[in-house]
Structure 1
């Protein structure tokens, strides 16, 4: 069920589907009367519409900004269904998404790409399951790009951290709520690029932990408190 849950302060989170074969990322909303911020867009237009209904059910205002934590499809393919938002993302992700936008996305294209590279199978199968109508899918690059860090008018900061999962990975800090949204930043590379030596980037997470931030939210994992995050790194 697509549903937003209050985490802390003005941050609400909606978990993704727990079935790994569906590759559905969670999203977050930073609710504010000055203009709410949506962190990641959903994996498809239909998923975005479910998120919009969940926002209304929770009584949360529609977003004014949409922040991409990185360019991967399960975080950005819902963007075309969000009206009247400014899309914020890292400059390197903008270049990658312009290339993605030029591809002829369809079941036929997915099949052709998997035949060229069998390791794309899990990701492309999930895309086929996620999209109800290819005619309504438009891949959107960010309309506002940054290189190191950008602060939005509501006091939310978006910081580039990079990493092996995606070169444009960024984290979203909500200092007044004690929350950091990590996206997929510490995950290993996508399956079709992963080697046997690749694992979670715990060193990256370690550099991000801060005594003033109590909650750490990854896109495909339950939120962790600061104590839990430190224990996970140490263990």
Structure 2
């Protein structure tokens, strides 16, 4: 995995995803602010979160004070317990789901037991096991601050619920002064164990975000498990996909 933060645009920095798809580690954004940086997603495990913390310190960025979940899936939230004294922000639907997740008896034994019951969980639960060398101190953390539709933070960062089939709480995070829209996994198909034949990316959602007046002029459209893409390149890919 490539270590370190990449400066993307304005006050947005990017910690890259792991290109080994079986690792299931998405990219994480840091929005620098003098009063304390905003982290977008927490990493897939406390060990990953600690690498991100070291990268933030090495880059000389302000300490993280707020963490925004793009959605409740494990690879975006399991690192949160390594971020002490940070306000966690997330959609209300995700808060409910994470409260349920927090009650599960997470362990390697529990992961194996669940895969035996439903083999389609294998890829996800195997990745979880690899991400967690031990479970000491691990807890799933629901958000402290919940929202329903949109939430604008004091520093101008805009958080917007878009939903979709990948996760009902999918949220995008916009940084207007930097021209960056962070998509999370919002346009992805459903998770593997819920996927049906014919399920694919939500092209209509990407088209709407590109054409919607609020984001149409943004330069960067960044999803979690790919390299950051410029809006013009996303438009070209959509044209090719739409034939």
TM-score tier after normalising by the smaller chain length:
over 0.9
Shift in Å at residue 135 of structure 1? Answer: 2.0
- Answer whether contact 1:80 1:137 (CA < 8 A) is retained: yes
- 5+ residue gaps, structure 1, are none
**1:42 alignment partner in structure 2:** 43
- Answer whether contact 1:45 1:136 (CA < 8 A) is retained: no
Shift in Å at residue 212 of structure 1? Answer: 2.1
Q: Describe the superposition over 1:141-165 as per-residue Cα deviations: whole angstroms up to 9, x where unpaired.
A: 0000000000111110100000110
**Root-mean-square deviation over aligned CA pairs:** 0.8
- Answer whether contact 2:179 2:219 (CA < 8 A) is retained: yes
Secondary structure of 2:189's counterpart equals coil
- 5+ residue gaps, structure 2, are none
Shift in Å at residue 195 of structure 1? Answer: 0.9
Q: Describe the superposition over 1:100-140 as per-residue Cα deviations: whole angstroms up to 9, x where unpaired.
A: 00000001100110000000000000000001221221000
Q: Give the TM-score normalised by structure 1.
A: 0.98
1:121-200 equivalences under 5 Å are: 121-200=122-201
Distance (Å, rounded) in 1 between the aligned partners of 2:169 and 2:28: 17
Secondary structure of 2:136's counterpart equals helix
- Answer whether contact 1:35 1:154 (CA < 8 A) is retained: no
**1:75 alignment partner in structure 2:** 76
- Answer whether contact 2:209 2:216 (CA < 8 A) is retained: no
Q: Tell me, yes or no, if structure 1 residue 27 matches structure 2 residue 28.
A: yes
Distance (Å, rounded) in 2 between the aligned partners of 1:233 and 1:144: 35
**1:220 alignment partner in structure 2:** 225
Shift in Å at residue 35 of structure 1? Answer: 2.2
Secondary structure of 1:134's counterpart equals coil
Distance (Å, rounded) in 2 between the aligned partners of 1:158 and 1:63: 17
- Answer whether contact 1:34 1:154 (CA < 8 A) is retained: no
Q: Give the TM-score normalised by structure 2.
A: 0.95
**2:204 alignment partner in structure 1:** 203
* Runs of 4+ off more than 2 Å: none
Secondary structure of 1:66's counterpart equals strand
Distance (Å, rounded) in 1 between the aligned partners of 2:216 and 2:25: 30
**1:2 alignment partner in structure 2:** 3
Q: How many residues in Structure 1 have an aligned counterpart in Structure 2?
A: 235
